[in-house]
Amino acid sequence: VVYAYGPTNRTFGLTAALNTLRNLALAWSVVGRAKPAVVLTTGAGVAVPFAWIGRLRGARVVYVESFTRIDGPSLSCRLIRPVAARVYGQWPEFVRAVPRSRYLGNVFSR
């Protein structure tokens, strides 16, 4: 278990900036030690630095958008999408609204 500094996407000002820097350093360390082939995330502010650092260190990034996002991407999705190899939505409407995303069902349909 590794504890990160959060939240970052709903915190503003100096606290957000410091937590983002702390999480970037933490991600660099954790990803460097673990050397993952894939970073799989459903988002949240803490996931953004891990996705970017994971990609910089050679991992593929897979993002699964929240079940609550039906027809548009979250802030986390918008920040992670540039480095994501795949983006999955859990609603067909999401895929129509977000280019290059995929729909394979949702967590409740399997």
Q: What is the pLDDT along the chain (110 residues), one digit of tens a residue?
A: 899 988 765 667 888 888 889 999 999 999 999 999 999 999 888 899 999 999 999 999 999 999 999 999 998 999 999 999 999 999 999 999 999 999 999 888 75
pTM value > 0.85: yes
Ordered strands of the 38-41 beta sheet: 38-41, 60-64, 86-89, 101-103
Bridge-based pairing of strands 86-89 and 101-103 is parallel
Look up residue 102 and give its DSSP letter: E
Q: What CA–CA distances, in Å, run from 42 to 58, 86, 88, 107?
A: 19, 12, 9, 12
